[in-house]
Structure 1
């Protein structure tokens, strides 16, 4: 699990760095949906955006104490054939898109000893 998180955190930083060179797009929900598609996550754009925004609210308010709880919440909201990796990819994409200041929770989880 720690290895998955480290890879997702690295990808989050890489995609974020690459994304800064691109011109601004007026609809972050469309960008989010497009990124999810690269991970094989489909579904209604508005629903996925809503889950991403609720996910951030849960992080801000402490409902989810760590990224593991956040990923469980997201996984439970997505289609039943969604993998654990896809749930974490969704979380990383959601953090980047809707609450980038909370991205450090990925690093905090990666630094946490496996238990």
Structure 2
């Protein structure tokens, strides 16, 4: 019984240990892509903005992509241009909440 408990703890610890680097890699890739758009800032902060934007879309706090873009724009440096905000939102959806692709598609259909 004691061996089973130790094995369970070891497997749980290993799973937790492997989960963190994978998330960090996603955040790093996200930040690196933002840099190609001319959007800089702390990696963790930009990832946090993206994750909050996804949550706001999922719970309906932002009703559409325009509201989500407005939220993101308020979080970024004041010199960030509109096209950069939309690129940030597109990358956010692709990276952290692909289930929200229809929100972007609806915005694209309106233009």
TM over 0.5: yes
User: How far did residue 75 of structure 1 move?
Assistant: 0.3
Q: Specify which structure has the higher proportion of helix.
A: 2
Please name the residue that 1:76 is paired with.
74
Q: Which has the higher contact order (CA 8 A, sep 6+)?
A: 1
What is the alpha-carbon distance in structure 2 between the residues aligned to residue 105 and residue 61 of structure 1?
13
Please name the residue that 2:51 is paired with.
53
Which ranges of structure 2 fall in alignment gaps of 5 or more residues? Answer: 1-20
Please name the residue that 1:107 is paired with.
105
User: How far did residue 55 of structure 1 move?
Assistant: 0.2
Which ranges of structure 1 fall in alignment gaps of 5 or more residues? Answer: 1-24
User: How far did residue 99 of structure 1 move?
Assistant: 0.3
- What's the Cα RMSD here? 1.2
Which of 89, 94, 100 pairs up with 1:96?
94
Please name the residue that 1:34 is paired with.
32
What is the alpha-carbon distance in structure 2 between the residues aligned to residue 31 and residue 83 of structure 1?
21
- How high is the TM-score relative to the length of structure 1? 0.74
What is the alpha-carbon distance in structure 2 between the residues aligned to residue 85 and residue 94 of structure 1?
14
Equivalent residues, number? 89
What is the alpha-carbon distance in structure 1 between the residues aligned to residue 67 and residue 95 of structure 2?
19
What is the alpha-carbon distance in structure 2 between the residues aligned to residue 101 and residue 61 of structure 1?
13
Runs of 4+ in 1 over 2 A off after TM superposition: none
Please name the residue that 2:16 is paired with.
none
